[in-house]
Structure 1
C-alpha cells in the first residue's frame, strides 16, 4: 500500500451531497484485534494520537454492559476517521469483522467518513485476497456462521484493504515508533483536508503521484526552495494530479495554498493575492488595496515559512510576478507547483523541473470509462468492443473518458452507443471542445491560429521538413516561431520527425472550421469531411474562402467524375488532395496558388498542359496511370521540392529533371517500367532523398548519376538486381543507405565517413564489405541473413559509437570476428547487438536458463549505476516466426514493475540460436544500491505453434552513463506492483497500443 497515494483516502473526506452529512463528535475510532495489538502497538498509537490533540475512541475504554455493541456503533458513526489495524488473527474475530462491516456501511452513508487501514505484520495482498491465516479464519467462519454474513465480511475486508493507508513492512524500516509518527501525520493531514473537489475513480493516479513525488517534489529532501512545473494539454489530468499531491503532502508544510483557475481570475489579482495570504497565514481578516501592495506583503510575510503552493492554470508569467513566485519569497524547503498548458510560461520562470502530464494507458482508460459508463471497473461483457472503440476515440484523455462515459451511462442499447460514437467523431462534445479550445484561443494572432488549423486538417503525420517548407511558402516568411508556439501549448507534438497531434485536438481544430459556416460548407476555409466535399464539388458551390480541400476515395470507387469547373471559384486554394478522384474538363480551372497536390491514383497518362503547376512545392502522384509526367511548358513546377511517383507502374521515362533545380526529395518506389531518364538524376544538385526501391535497376543503370548527387542524405535501393554498388565514398552528406533484399549483391566497395545507418538485410550473396573508413560515424548496421558474409574489416574499431548491430543469421561469420564483437560491444542504450551465437558473454554474471527469472541484488559499492545490460539466447522450432521481445524488470525493494519492449525479430531458420544484447537505462529504472531486482525476458505477439523461446537470460550492472540514452525511442511501461507475493512468477505481458 503506497503512502504517496494517501490522497485516495483523502478523497473520501468530501463526498457527494446525496450522502448524509455528520457532525463529528470524535476524530478517530480505533478498530483492532485485541489479542494481537491491544497492549502494544494499538495502545502506543492511541496515546500518540491523543498527544497530538486528536480525539480518539477505543473499545477497551467502554464500560461492560448489555449495550456495548450499540455504544460501539454510536462511536463509529460519530468518528470522522476509522483506523482499522489489520493483524494476522484479525479475521479470526467475529466481533472485529462485524465492527468492520459497520465501519464500511458508515463510509457509504456518511459524507466525509474516511477509513484508514494499517497493516501490522500482515501483507495487504493476503488481506485483499483472503489468503494465508486470513483465509484459514474464513474457512472456519463458513462452517460456523451465516453464509450471507460471511460473504459480506469478505466483501468488506477486500474493500477496506483496497483503501490507502500504511504498511509496517514497507515503512520506516519496521521501526514502530517512527511508523506511528507517520500514521499520526497522515491522520492530521486527513483531518485538515481543505475543500478540494473529490477525486472520484482516480484510476492510475497513484503511479503518477509516486513518480512525481519521487522524481520531482522531493518532500523532506532538499532544503532549497524548488519551483516545479506541470504542463500538458487541456483535460489530460494536470489538476487531478496536483490536487492529489496537494492533499497528500500539505500537512508536511507550515503553510499551504491551492490557487484554482488563475487564468480566469486575471482581472481580479487583488482578491487572488488576499486568498493567497489568508490560506497560508490562516488569517481571514487580511485586506489588500492594490496589486503592488499584495506583492510586497507576500514577499514580507512568507519569506521564512516552509510552504506548499499550487498555482493552477496560469497562462501569463505576469501573474506569477504579482504573486511573488520567486525562490527568495519563501522559506527553506518550500515547494511551488505551477500548472500550465503552455510550456513557455514555465520557461520564463526559474523552474527547476518540468513534468509533462501523460495520457492514460489503454488499460487505465478502459477502467475509467467503465466506472463512468457502467459503475464498475470493467465494461459489461457485451459492450467490451464498443468500449474499446470509445477508448480509441478518447486517446487516453481523462476528461474525454469521463464526459463520454457519463454521456453513454444512460444509453442501454448497443446501437445508441455506435451512433453516439459516430456523432462524436464528426461533432465533438461541447464540454470537451470548449476545454481544448482554451489553448487555441490563447494563441497570439490569427496567423498562428491559421497555421494550427492547416496542420489539424492536412498535415498530421507529415514530415516536419515538408510542412515547414509548404507553410513558409504560403505565408511568405518562416513559420518556425509559430510552430514552436503551437507546440508549447501542447497543441502539437513534434518530438519525432513527423508532426503528431492528439485526435481530440485535431477534432477541435476541425470543429472550429466547421462552425465558420455550419450550413454552407462551400464558404468554409478548409474542407476535409467526405460528405461536405462531395456536396461542394457536385453543387459547384465552392468559394474563394476555401484554402484547402481533401477527398479520399477507395481505389476502385464508383463515384462519378466531378467537373473541373467546381474549382473555378476556389482561387486561393493552396492544398488539394484528390485520391482516386476523376475529373472532367479543362485543368486551367484549378487554382494557380496550389502549393500541395496529392492525387494518388491520378487517372491520366500525362499531366495536362493547361494545369498550372508553377507554385507547387510538393506533388504526390503515387499509384498513378502516368506514362510520362508532363509535357514541357512554361507552367512546370520550377519551385518543386518534393516529387513522389511511387508505384506508377506504367511510367516509362523520367521528366526532364533539369527543370527542377530545387528538388530535394524524389520517390520512384516500384516504378519498374522506367527505362529512360536515370542519367538526368545527375542534374539534381540539391537532392537529399532518393527512393529507387524495386525499380529493376541493374549494374550500370545509375552508377554515374549516384556519384554526382553531392547533397544526397538518404538513398533507398532495396530489392534491385545489381551485383555491385558504385563507390559512394565521395557522397559526403550521405547518412542512410538501404540495400535490403538485394539478393544479387555480392560486394559493397566503398562507403562515406558520413554514413550513420546501413541496412543490407537478406543480401544472401553478399560476401565483400569494405574496410570501414577512419572517423566513421556508423551507428546502426543491420545485415540480417547475409549468410555468405565472413567479416566486416575494421568494424571492431567503431563499436564504441554504435547503437545497433544486427547480424543474426550471418552464419559464415568467423569465430574471431564474433569474439571481438562480443568483447568490445558497448551499445549505448537499447539498440542492441544481434548475432547467431548460442551462449551468454561471460561478463554478465547473473544467468538463468529456459525462460527463467534472473535475480539480482544491486551492490552498494557502485559509484554510479548506468543501468542493466541484458542478454538473451533465443530460437524457435519453426522458421519465419516473428515476435516482440518484452523484458520485465521488477524492483522488489522500490516496489516498481516495468515492461520494456526493445525490439522485434523474425526467426528465419528453425532451431538456430540467436543472441540479443542491449542496455536498459537507469534514467527509467532508477536502481539504487541494495535493491532486489528480478528480470525476465519473453516474446509476445507470436502464435502458439510458432513460439519464439528464450533459452538463456543474462544480466549485468552497467557502471557508466549511456551517452545516447535520449536518442532511441524504447517503450518503458510502468505497470502496477501489488506485493512481493505477486512477483514470485513474473507473468508474460500483453502489449497495448502506446498513445
Structure 2
C-alpha cells in the first residue's frame, strides 16, 4: 500500500462523503440521511485520542483483512478501496465510543457484540439479524441502541415499532408506506394494498443501502410484507427483527448464526440497573443493600421488572419496601404480567392447555415424562413443547428437565386463578399444598378440576380417595407420598374413571380400587409402590391374565415395585 500512497491520498480528495482531520482528534463522516431534509453531519471522537493518537493507529493496524495492489490503476478501484478503508475505520472508531444511555446497564457489551457481528462495513451481502427472547428482556432496547449507533452508515433508515399491534390496527400496507416514506424521504408515497406494497418495496429499495428495524414481529406474514426477500435490498443492507417467537425467524430464512437469544441480566448488572432507578446511582443506598438484593432476586434478571420496581420504590420508606416485597409473594407485578401474557395470547388453544399444565403440574419434570403425560391427555406434546420453547415460554435444561422464568410461572398461575381467585376448588388445576389440604379435609372437590399434583400431604389415602369422588372430570393426577402402608376399607377406595394419566409414587395399596374401570387410562406410573396386582382377585402376586379395562393403556412404569413378580398385559391392546 505504501507504493501507491500518493495515488490513494489524491483519490481521498475525490471522496466528498468522507474526511479525516489532520489533528487526528476527530473522524468526520458526512452523509445525507433519508429521514431529514438536510444533510446530517456526524462526528466521531475517539476520546482516548485526546491524550494519545495510538487508538487511531491501532485501528489501522487491525485492518489486516484489506490489501491493495499498485497494479490496480483504475481510479474507480482506488475510490472503492479507499471507501472500504474509511468505512472500516469509522466503524472501528465508533465501537470505541458507543453512545448508550447510562441507565441501560449491561447493554453496552451486548450492543457492541451485535454491531460487530453484523459487520456493518461489509457490502458483500444483505443480512437479516434476529433478536429473540422473552417479553421484557430488552429486545427493543438493544435494537434501538444498535439502530441509534449505526444508522449513519446507511443511505436509508426506518425503525418500525410494535409491528405486532400496529399490523392489526393500521394494517401492513401502512407499515409498508412508513418504511418506503422513511427510506426514500418522501412523505407523499401511497400504498394501495399489501401486494402493491411488496412490489413497490422490491422495486424502490434496491437502489439504497438501508437499515430497517422491525420490532416485535409475531407472524411470518408480517415479514413477508415488510422484508419479503433478500433480493429486495441493496447489498450492505441490514434488516433487524425482534421477536418472542424463534420460529418466525426460522420460517423467514434468517441464518441460525444470525439469531441472537437475548440474555437476562447477571446479579451484578441487575443490582446496578435497579440502583439507577431506585437511588439514581450505581449501588444501593446505605441500609437498603439487603432489601435491594431481595428485589433483584425476585426479578430474576428481567430488566422490565427491575426498572418497574426500581421506579416504584424510589424515595419510599423502608417500611413501604418491606410491604411491597411481602405483597409480591402472593400478588404478582401487574405490569410485568401484562407484557408476558402477550406470548400466551398468541398460542393455539391446545398449546395454552399444555402451557398451563407445564406451569402448574409438570415444571421440573423430565421432558420425556412430561410428553408421556401430555400425550395421554390427548395433546400433541412434541410440537406443543417445541412451540412453547420457541416462544420463550419454557426452557429445557441440558439434562432435559422442563423449566421457565419465575415470572412466566407467575403469569400462568395467575391465569388459572383469576376467574375464581378466592375459590381454589373451582380452579381447573390444583397445585398449592395448603389449598389442596383444605379441599380434601372439607370435601370441597368439584368437576372443575382437570389436573392436580399432591406432594407429601401426610393425609390418609382414604380421605384423599374420598375427596376424589367429586372430581369427576379429573384427567391428570400426580401424587408424591411417603412410603407407608395404609389400611383402607374397600368401600372408600376410589379413583375417577376419567383419569388418562396416573402417577402415584409409593402407592400405598396392593391393587387399584375395584371400582376403577380405567377405560380412559393411557399412562400409568407407580414407581416404588406396594402394588402386587392391578386389581384384587386371582393369585395375590400375579396380575389377571387379561383385562379389558386396560385397552387404552400405552405406557406404564412400575419400577421398584418389589411385590410385583409378573405383569401380564394381554388386555392392553395399545401397548406396542
Question: Under TM normalisation by the shorter chain, which class is it?
Answer: 0.7 to 0.9
1:484 and 2:382 aligned: no
1:424 and 2:328 aligned: yes
Deviations 1:809-856 (A, max 9, x none): xxxxxxxxxxxxxxxxxxxxxxxxxxxxxxxxxxxxxxxxxxxxxxxx
After TM superposition, the score normalised by the length of structure 2 is 0.76
Asked if the contact 2:163/2:217 (under 8 Å) is kept, the reply is: yes
CA–CA distance in structure 2, aligned partners of residues 606 and 181 of structure 1: 78
Asked if the contact 1:121/1:169 (under 8 Å) is kept, the reply is: no
1:447 Cα deviation from its structure 2 partner:
1.5
CA–CA distance in structure 2, aligned partners of residues 579 and 469 of structure 1: 18
| Residue matched to 1:134 | none
| Residue matched to 2:244 | 341
Among candidates 411, 420, 423, match of residue 517 of structure 1: 420
| Residue matched to 1:270 | 173
Among candidates 281, 306, 309, match of residue 404 of structure 1: 309
1:207 and 2:109 aligned: yes
Q: Structure 1 residues 494, 587: CA separation in 2 closer, same or farther (over 3 Å shift)? A: farther
Deviations 1:496-529 (A, max 9, x none): 4222222221221111111132232222211112
Structure 2 residue matching 1:283: 3-state secondary structure: coil
Asked if the contact 2:299/2:305 (under 8 Å) is kept, the reply is: yes
CA–CA distance in structure 1, aligned partners of residues 195 and 86 of structure 2: 45
CA–CA distance in structure 1, aligned partners of residues 161 and 267 of structure 2: 29
* Residue pairs, 1:345-360, within 5 angstroms: 345-352=248-255, 353-360=258-265
Deviations 1:313-349 (A, max 9, x none): 1112222222243211111111111111112211221
Asked if the contact 1:613/1:635 (under 8 Å) is kept, the reply is: no
Structure 2 residue matching 1:591: 3-state secondary structure: coil
Deviations 1:271-324 (A, max 9, x none): 212211121122233333333333222222211210011111111222222224
Structure 1 residue matching 2:568: 3-state secondary structure: helix
* Residue pairs, 1:457-496, within 5 angstroms: 457-475=360-378, 478-494=380-396, 496=398
Asked if the contact 2:548/2:572 (under 8 Å) is kept, the reply is: no
| Residue matched to 1:436 | 340
Among candidates 517, 520, 523, match of residue 617 of structure 1: 523
1:307 and 2:210 aligned: yes
Structure 1 residue matching 2:187: 3-state secondary structure: coil
Asked if the contact 1:630/1:655 (under 8 Å) is kept, the reply is: no
CA–CA distance in structure 2, aligned partners of residues 408 and 178 of structure 1: 48
Among candidates 637, 641, 645, match of residue 555 of structure 2: 641
| Residue matched to 2:185 | 282
| Residue matched to 2:296 | 391
1:492 Cα deviation from its structure 2 partner:
2.2
| Larger proportion of helix | 2
RMSD: 4.1
Deviations 1:156-196 (A, max 9, x none): xxxxxxxxxx9446533399x96997399959x99xx9xxx
Asked if the contact 1:491/1:505 (under 8 Å) is kept, the reply is: yes
Asked if the contact 2:25/2:50 (under 8 Å) is kept, the reply is: no
CA–CA distance in structure 2, aligned partners of residues 511 and 310 of structure 1: 33
CA–CA distance in structure 1, aligned partners of residues 531 and 468 of structure 2: 26
CA–CA distance in structure 2, aligned partners of residues 260 and 307 of structure 1: 17
Asked if the contact 1:574/1:595 (under 8 Å) is kept, the reply is: yes
1:564 and 2:465 aligned: yes
1:173 and 2:86 aligned: no
* Residue pairs, 1:825-864, within 5 angstroms: none
Structure 2 residue matching 1:171: 3-state secondary structure: helix
Higher relative contact order (CA 8 A, sep 6+): 2
Asked if the contact 1:595/1:617 (under 8 Å) is kept, the reply is: yes
Deviations 1:681-723 (A, max 9, x none): xxxx98xxxxxxxxxxxxxxxxxxxxxxxxxxxxxxxxxxxxx
Structure 1 residue matching 2:436: 3-state secondary structure: helix
* Residue pairs, 1:573-652, within 5 angstroms: 573-580=474-481, 586-599=491-504, 604=508, 606-607=510-511, 609-610=513-514, 612=516, 614=518, 615=521, 617-620=523-526, 622=528, 626=530, 632-633=536-537, 639=553, 641-643=555-557
Segments ≥4 residues shifted beyond 6 Å: 80-83, 177-181, 558-561, 581-585, 635-638, 660-663
Asked if the contact 2:479/2:505 (under 8 Å) is kept, the reply is: yes
Q: Which runs of 5+ in 1 are unaligned?
A: 1-39, 55-79, 84-114, 125-165, 664-684, 687-995
CA–CA distance in structure 2, aligned partners of residues 539 and 123 of structure 1: 79
Q: Structure 1 residues 621, 44: CA separation in 2 closer, same or farther (over 3 Å shift)? A: closer
Q: Structure 1 residues 548, 383: CA separation in 2 closer, same or farther (over 3 Å shift)? A: farther
| Residue matched to 2:541 | none
CA–CA distance in structure 2, aligned partners of residues 170 and 629 of structure 1: 78
Paired residues in the alignment total 507
Asked if the contact 1:617/1:640 (under 8 Å) is kept, the reply is: yes
Larger radius of gyration: 1
CA–CA distance in structure 2, aligned partners of residues 346 and 257 of structure 1: 19
CA–CA distance in structure 2, aligned partners of residues 495 and 221 of structure 1: 37
1:182 and 2:182 aligned: no
Between 379-388 and 428-437, the greater mean CA deviation after superposition:
379-388
CA–CA distance in structure 2, aligned partners of residues 116 and 370 of structure 1: 30
Between 392-401 and 334-343, the greater mean CA deviation after superposition:
392-401
CA–CA distance in structure 2, aligned partners of residues 448 and 53 of structure 1: 49
* Residue pairs, 1:89-108, within 5 angstroms: none
1:235 and 2:128 aligned: no
| Residue matched to 1:249 | 150
Among candidates 364, 378, 398, match of residue 269 of structure 2: 364
CA–CA distance in structure 2, aligned partners of residues 288 and 596 of structure 1: 55
1:404 Cα deviation from its structure 2 partner:
2.8
CA–CA distance in structure 2, aligned partners of residues 655 and 389 of structure 1: 53
Q: Which runs of 5+ in 2 are unaligned?
A: 1-19, 33-39, 64-84, 538-546
After TM superposition, the score normalised by the length of structure 1 is 0.46
Asked if the contact 1:172/1:178 (under 8 Å) is kept, the reply is: no
